[in-house]
Each structure stands twice: as structure tokens, then as C-alpha cells.
Structure 1
């Protein structure tokens, strides 16, 4: 499959000049090629590649967010398949659906998601708490969070709608039901293998209505997706109970913690990604006028900001901009979002040896010179002026730009580019010729 993608990529690059800038489609193809080559384990997306070091002679991975990233990547593949109808894309999506099934079941405790799973016969080096699976074939990382659930439910929703076979839909429904039942039956908590609430697995009112209002939104996403893929009345009843009777939909209006983004640490940009992953299924599936109004108010606040503080719109994040166009009918951020995709730098993700290898393999010349205008003081830093990061959308776009000239012991994949690019294609905001 990688070979097929390489042939397609070579054809795309050969059809144009061999120097950057690539078209957006060519860049997506290159990130996809690298994703499949270095960052996949039987459909499971691997977060952060650790290059061989003096202490070990093998490539290792830091894997706190495999479930989250696999869900996001599955969502991107689902939209890609909806656009292209390519059998190879469906095959990759099927592998990631299977990988999520493993993550949903490997703990041996019904409804307890694993952050990551790794075959016991492969060398590994990672932090976190790992336990053996009951069949002895895997070791799995625990202490799962609402972040991981958010990514998984996002990916499952898109896969169910756009790419899954009937058998896969049944498997998705079964896994989603188990995850949702676990949360409901444990009083809106994720209970780990040790019988304790996980560090970030909290959706209950005392937490979600005061400390972390984002989790009110994420619980509603979870329940809405559960009802959508299963059709089970209990999930619709739970959804409406928490959305309406317990006021979670009203709480979710203020899901984003606002602040002065120029002040370091004032905004949790990782939470912004989680919010928009949550908005997508809610805005897609909700038909109740009052609930839809509340979710729209929440999304407008996150996107446009308040009288005192800006939302995410100035950041020129293409995923957020494309969501705003699709669900808020606000096209004002689309052009800037496309510019971000155009300027998205390869060396934010990869070290120079990898880029050099791909230059030789595919016949292009990498130019690391920023193409964006220099930002004014207090403005977000364009993506091609930022430092290396595992996620361009999680990093602080207001932080001073950093150098990417030094090689890093880590390398990262392009899931962030792919999730935005394929949403743009699927929503008709980015065409194949961009």
C-alpha cells in the first residue's frame, strides 16, 4: 500500500516543478506517505518517534495519545474516502477501525479505553503505566482521559458515516456503546484498571460545571455519537437528560476558557482542538433548535471571541476555519486557513535527514525560508515561523517563533495537516488543484 501511494506521489511531483512550494494535494500526499511509512502500527497512529540513541539501537515511540491521534487520523481518512472513493484509502481506514477496536478492548475491562497498545514481541521504550493484556499478546497504556475519548468518538462518527462497511458499523456501535456505558454507569467518570478515577476522566457536574466546562461539551459529544451509531434509546435519554435537565448544553456555551493569548499560558490551545473535535459531531447531528442554538453560541464564542478576548479566528487554523464555514456559515477565515496549509513547513515535523531522503526519493528541493509575512507584535506567529511540534494546532501560536535548523531526537507526523486538508476538501473549500 505504501508503494502504491509512493507511485501516486511521484506522479504528482513529476507533473510540476521539482522545487517547493508543493500544491496542497502534493503536501498531503507526502505527509500521508510518511505517516504510513513511519507512524503506523497495524492502523494505530503513533505520536512521537524517538530516534535511536546511545541507550537503545531501535526506533521507539512516545505514546500518550495514540487513541486520540488514531481517531483524528481515521476522521481524515474517512473524509478522504468520501472525496476520492479510492479503495486504498478505504483499506487504510479499515485498519484504523481495527486498531481502535484493539484500543477499546485490550484492557480486558469492558468500556475501558487504552491510550496505546504495543505487541509484546516488539521492543519499546515509553513512559506511562503499561499492563499486559489478558491474552499476553500486547501491553497497553492506561490512565485514559476525556481527550482520548474525544478523538476516538470523533473518528468513529466520521468513519461510521463515510467509510465503514456494515460489519465495521456493527463493531463501531458495540465499542462506542461499551465506552459510553462505562461513563454513564460510573457516575460520569472513567474508572481505570486499578478501580480509581483516571486523572483526566471526569465529566460529573461538580467538575464539568465549574472546573472544566469543556467536559460538559465532550460528554454531550460522547452521548450524541453513541445514540447516532447505536440507535439505542438509553443514549438519547441520557443525552437529553444531561443536555437539558442538568444544563450541560448551557454550560457548554462557555466551554472555552478565555484569556489574553499574548500572555504565556493564558490559553490551553490543546483544549481548543478538543472543543472543535467535539463541535463537529454535535453540529452535524443535532436537530433540536434550542440545543443547536446553544452549540452555535458556544462555537461562535470559541471562534470569534468575546468583547474582552479574541477567539481562535486570528490564529488562521485551517481546521477551525473550515468548521466555522461549514457550521456557522462564516467564510471569513477560509483564505487565511488555506494560507496556513500552503505555508505548513516540512521541517516542523521532520529532521533534515528525513527531508533529504525524501528530496532524493521524490525529486524535489526543500526550501525552509518562511513565505509568510512577518507578524506584528501581539499577532499570532504564522505556521512557517514556528518551532518544531508534534501538533501545529496544539502549540501556542502566539509564542515567539523558534528555529527548526537543529536536528531533534524526536520526529513527528503530519496528522494535523491531514485533518485540516481533508476537511477542506470534503467541505468543498479546498479543491484538488490548490
Structure 2
């Protein structure tokens, strides 16, 4: 959505409730990739028939069998038998038709093959067409201007190497490493001199000249260019003007300027087969063809709504990310090949599934869709089995699997045989799991209008909380000992210095958990325990402590406190905000709710730089009218459709303003777009710039995107949009 349109819509955001933001279509970018079997060079173009053809190593190729998330390959173009074996030196597009150059002639297969002319530069390697089928040809040092096989003009550029020839403004433009020349009326003139020039693109209003140190830009009135160096990648290897808009290729991806002065950056195999860009051209149907040393990318965009995107992601989860009812990752893929890999177990299977279950509860509450109800049922069954497969009443496993593959499971030493034959379960359950479960059980109990599911959710909630209260506010494992992280006991919580985050976090979580348990079970023991913790042990003061007081443990603190406070813990953020559902929504009274509201908004103020729709929408639970709606829509719109863990690099970028090392680990003044940063869940630092992914994993959208979207829909922040729920892309 254009920023001015969104700003206009925000004018209506007022009053006690939330005026819904219309789900206006936006441009969703995605990439179709075609890999080459050998290293490539040369060029790629598209003609009037929307055919894509390229030249590499003297051979013509076509992209074949590519779809979004299902890469194709580059195949030899064998359609014209007369061209097989031809020593084609380069190709170009003139009057929207392909033209080819060899050691003696220049021709096209269009116009019934009539268009062909001779030249006299046996080592010719570049050309461009001008008016009335006149062409300028170069072998790097010599220039020959021809029409109908007649030489109209020629010259030699001593000591220079022609990099590119273009025709615009009734003029030929010739670029060498050190000079930009014009040729008009047989007069060669120097237009601009410098060094390290690499590429050129121009039209009637602008000139873009690429160099090893950035790019130069002349607008229509400028006599001297502006040199741009604050770029995602500085050394420019290719430029194309597409619909008047510049696209610039480098050895670290491709980028294009945005109206706000920043750049949209496409780097890594989320977007490109290789980062070293060879050429760029306009493709069919408003696509961008980016030819790299490892293949071709067709950068595409489609006008969709957030609701369209939601159903695309709903299909992604159901097709590839459900393991025994869990919301799981697809691991072990062969370089992004979705037909390979396996559904992996994870320490936080219960947490990721709880977040997905919450999304489906919000979806059902917003739409009453039967499939959302069935998804809730299946995920709740998976969470229930976490309790029934362990021998300890009320103690949930982290995960479970069939015992036949126990030896293949990560951390196999913590996997235990279940009393139920044929199954194994993972021990050492953490507070992450517990707060996730309580959140999920509460959303089902409150929002899913199915008596059986509601009763099951409340029973499981009571089962978990009874275990915790009965075991002195610990999760006690099969060995009779508390787990490392399942601890809410005052002796543990208050052992931390007041500025260590775990003291605040655990206090906030357990009060929210106890309130939730009391709200749905009405068992007085939960209410009594919560007030005991707040009045006798200072948990209200703990959870209300401002975030600006949270930091590193003092020098005299114990080693455990120091370890847990080396930097901002983003996994804690996820636990806080999931816990805020029960903390605020099920507050015992209005006085407490007021305290909670202040604490939540204070925490959100610290999270605002991340522009995460999840934190923003959970903050909206408090009724505040300020929770960064524009940034939330930005997050949802810019989140990529490709959720594979490709290698992503941003730390080299010159267009970012880097910050000194800090406790929060915020690396840049502004968070990088989700489309440009490494793939991650909400529990990781969104300011991480680099990730050496290998395409072995695909994340589920169930917790990363569907949770904030459907929460926004449920709260009435985002308006429903017309949709036929059809798949927009093959995934």
C-alpha cells in the first residue's frame, strides 16, 4: 500500500474501539529461479512475445520449468536449427525483437528473417540499434556505424575498452571504463570522464552510470551528476531502467531506489540463484530479469491482499508443516527442494504449536470457518498428548515421536520411553512451553465455540497449573527434580537482582498463568497463590518494573544472573507477550488491570523499533490507541512468501546506519525489512543482519505470520477482504 494512502486511512483510527484498516491490495514480490549447471556470463532479454532468452558462453538458452518455490533450469535453445553451431558473440533487443551478432553479421529472426546486415569487426562484442535500422557495433576499441551493410562512420578509441552501447535521445551513448561518449551526426564527443565505469542505462529524463564506487545519476536538468555511495552494495556491475525506474546489480545482489530514499534490496537465494549479477532486463508481465553467475531470477510481483496472503500461508502450513498435529519445521532439504527433507522435532514443539493454535482460534472467532475449527481440534489433540505420554501427572513433554526413530532424534539423551508402547517423549520442559500452553488453552476456551474443545482446553489448563502449584511453582520432571527453566518459585525468582530480566519475566508469566487458571476453573487456590506472590513476594512490583531498568547483572551477582543478562533476551519477549493475553484479559480487578496495562505499554515502547505486528497487536489488547498500526501492516506486507533459511547478508550495506554495541543488540538505527533479513521466529533479534543459511529448512508461517494476522483480524484492526481462497502461487 502506498504510504500516503495508509496515512489517510489512519485518520479514521479513533474512538474507544478500533476502526478497521481496509485490506487494500499491495504488491507482493516473489522470485522464480532458474539454476545453471555451469557458471554463466552474458545477457538475458525478453521480446514482444514475452519470450525470455539469454546468451552465455556463446550459446543461447531458455528458462524452463520454473515456478515459485520450485526452481527451474536454464536449457539450451535449440528451436532454430540454423543457429545451432553459430558463434554468437552477443545479443540485444531492438524494436522489441531479439537481434544477434557474430563475427561478420547482425541479424534477427523476426520480420520473416529479412533483417540482416554485415559489419567489419571480427571481434565485435556489443551493439545497439538506433533510428531507421541503423546500428553501432564495437569490438571494444573500434566503433562501426552501419545501415544496410554499409559503413556510415567508423573510428578507433585508442587505449579504451567499450563496456556498453545504448541509444536514447536520438543519440548513441558509448561507455568505456573512463569515459562516457555521445555519437550524433557522426560526431563523437566526450560527455563525462572518470574511472571504474562498468554499466549504463538512460532514457529521455535520466542517465544512470554504474561504477566500482557507486552510481552516478543525471536528471533532465542536471549538468553534473550526483554520485550515490550509501548503497546496499557499492560496486555496480549492471543497470537497467525498467518503466523509468533504475535497477542496479552488484556482486552482492540487486537493488532499486524507493520513493522514501531507501532501497529495496534483493540478495541471497530467497531472491537470486547467485549474488553476482551479470545483467538486468525487463521481463514479461512487469517482471525483472536478473541474470547472475549461477542462473536467472525472475523477480515478480502480484497485487494481493493480506487475506490472500493469509490463505497462501494457511496452505503452506497444512501442506508441509504438520507433524502429528504439531506446527513443525521442514528440515534436511536439499538446497530448498521442498520434495526433500523431513518434519523435525524441536525443543519448542509445544510453544510453536500453541502459537499456531492461537492463530486458528483467532481465525475461527473472526470467520467461523470449519477448517479453522478442525485445525484447532488437531493441534489441541497434539498438546493433549504431551501430557498423556509422560508418567508424571500434569507434566507436559516438550515433544513426542514414535520410539522407532529415537536414535535419530536430536538430544537423544533427554528422550524418555513413554508408558504408552511405541512412543518416546522429550523431557526438560521449559517455561516457554508452559506459557505457550496456557495462552493456547485460554484462546480455545474463550473463542472457539465448541463445548468439547472448550472443556478439553480448560481441563488441560487445570492439569498443568495444578502440577505447577502442587510442586511449589516448579515443573518437576520424571526424575523428581525441577527442570532448568520451569521455575516460578519466589526463592528462585527473587534470587535475581532486580534489574535482571528473568525476575520480571517469571513474575509476569506466573501471575498471568494463575489468573487464566482461576478465570476458567474458578478454583480458589489459583487466585490465592497469585495474591500471595504479589503481596508477600513482590511479584507485582517485579512485573511492573520499567524496562529501562532491565540490564546486565551487577558485578557482585551470581554467575547464573550474569549469564542470563549478557544482552536482551528476545525469547523472553515472546513469552512476555503471549503471557499478556492472560495477564491483562483475565485480571482479577480493574486496579491490577491498570498496573498491567502500564507494564505492557512500557514493554511495547522498548519493542517499537522491531515493528513486529505480534507485539503491536498484543499491546492493542490494552485498548491503547497507539500501537503502531502502520508499522504492523508494513511487517505483514513485507514478510516474504519464501520462508526457507537461505543465506542472507546485510552487514556490508552502506545504506544502513549502524549503532554501537548495546544491551539490546540493536545493530542499526532502523530495522531491515522482513523481505531482506534472515528468516527467524519472533523469539530472535530482528536486528540480526546476517545468517549463513543453506536452504535446508523451511519455517512454518503458523507462528511467524498467521498469529499476528489473525490476531489483528480478531481484534478488528484489519478488515476482511474479498477472497476466493484460491492459491495465488504453487507452493
Query: Which TM-score applies when normalising by structure 1?
Result: 0.81
Distance in 1 between the 2:536 and 2:449 partners?
34
Structure 1 residue aligned with 2:360: 77
User: 1:47-94 deviations in whole A, cap 9, x for unaligned?
Assistant: 4633379xxx96251411011111111111000000110111101101
* Paired residues for 1:173-192 under 5 Å: 173-192=458-477
Secondary structure at the residue paired with 2:301? coil
Equivalent residue for 1:416, pick from 692, 704, 707: 704
Larger Rg: 2
Distance 1:423 1:375, change over 3 A: farther
Once the two structures are TM-superposed, the CA of residue 382 in structure 1 deviates from its matched residue by: 2.6
Distance in 1 between the 2:579 and 2:645 partners?
32
* Paired residues for 1:220-239 under 5 Å: 220-239=511-530
More strand by share: 2
- Does residue 277 (structure 1) correspond to residue 566 (structure 2)? The answer is no
When the two chains are superposed, the root-mean-square deviation of aligned CA atoms in Å is: 2.9
Structure 1 residue aligned with 2:318: 36
Secondary structure at the residue paired with 1:412? coil
Equivalent residue for 2:344, pick from 61, 65, 72: 61
Once the two structures are TM-superposed, the CA of residue 46 in structure 1 deviates from its matched residue by: 1.7
Once the two structures are TM-superposed, the CA of residue 137 in structure 1 deviates from its matched residue by: 3.2
Secondary structure at the residue paired with 1:384? coil
Secondary structure at the residue paired with 2:581? helix
Distance 1:93 1:396, change over 3 A: same
- Whether the 8 Å CA contact 2:513–2:582 is kept in 1: the answer is no
Distance in 2 between the 1:121 and 1:92 partners?
27
Distance 1:194 1:69, change over 3 A: same
- Whether the 8 Å CA contact 1:385–1:402 is kept in 2: the answer is no
Distance 1:255 1:173, change over 3 A: farther
* Paired residues for 1:187-226 under 5 Å: 187-211=472-496, 212-213=502-503, 214-226=505-517
Structure 2 residue aligned with 1:426: 714
Structure 2 residue aligned with 1:313: 608
- Whether the 8 Å CA contact 1:24–1:341 is kept in 2: the answer is yes
Once the two structures are TM-superposed, the CA of residue 351 in structure 1 deviates from its matched residue by: 6.0
Distance in 1 between the 2:637 and 2:391 partners?
44
- Whether the 8 Å CA contact 1:286–1:292 is kept in 2: the answer is yes
Distance 1:387 1:69, change over 3 A: same
Structure 2 residue aligned with 1:294: 595
Once the two structures are TM-superposed, the CA of residue 332 in structure 1 deviates from its matched residue by: 4.2
Structure 2 residue aligned with 1:361: none
Once the two structures are TM-superposed, the CA of residue 254 in structure 1 deviates from its matched residue by: 2.5
- Does residue 127 (structure 1) correspond to residue 411 (structure 2)? The answer is yes
Distance 1:205 1:104, change over 3 A: same
Structure 2 residue aligned with 1:331: 626
* Paired residues for 1:252-401 under 5 Å: 252-254=543-545, 258-259=550-551, 266-304=567-605, 311-347=606-642, 349-350=643-644, 376-377=657-658, 378-379=668-669, 380-389=671-680, 391=681, 393-399=682-688, 401=689
- Whether the 8 Å CA contact 2:490–2:533 is kept in 1: the answer is no
Structure 2 residue aligned with 1:50: 332
Structure 2 residue aligned with 1:19: 301
Structure 2 residue aligned with 1:359: none
Once the two structures are TM-superposed, the CA of residue 243 in structure 1 deviates from its matched residue by: 2.8
- Does residue 148 (structure 1) correspond to residue 433 (structure 2)? The answer is yes
Once the two structures are TM-superposed, the CA of residue 223 in structure 1 deviates from its matched residue by: 0.9
- Whether the 8 Å CA contact 2:513–2:583 is kept in 1: the answer is no
User: 1:220-265 deviations in whole A, cap 9, x for unaligned?
Assistant: 12211111221222222222222333321221113857459xxx96
- Whether the 8 Å CA contact 1:49–1:62 is kept in 2: the answer is no
Equivalent residue for 2:401, pick from 118, 142, 145: 118
Distance 1:330 1:266, change over 3 A: farther
Distance in 2 between the 1:46 and 1:82 partners?
24
Secondary structure at the residue paired with 2:494? helix
User: 1:326-346 deviations in whole A, cap 9, x for unaligned?
Assistant: 314133411101101100012
Distance 1:121 1:286, change over 3 A: same
- Does residue 163 (structure 1) correspond to residue 486 (structure 2)? The answer is no
Distance in 2 between the 1:32 and 1:259 partners?
39
- Whether the 8 Å CA contact 1:111–1:181 is kept in 2: the answer is yes
Once the two structures are TM-superposed, the CA of residue 431 in structure 1 deviates from its matched residue by: 1.8
Distance in 1 between the 2:479 and 2:329 partners?
25
- Whether the 8 Å CA contact 2:360–2:372 is kept in 1: the answer is yes
- Whether the 8 Å CA contact 2:333–2:697 is kept in 1: the answer is yes
Distance 1:87 1:60, change over 3 A: closer
Distance 1:255 1:170, change over 3 A: farther
Question: How many residues are treated as equivalent by the alignment?
Answer: 385
- Whether the 8 Å CA contact 1:217–1:255 is kept in 2: the answer is no
More helix by share: 1
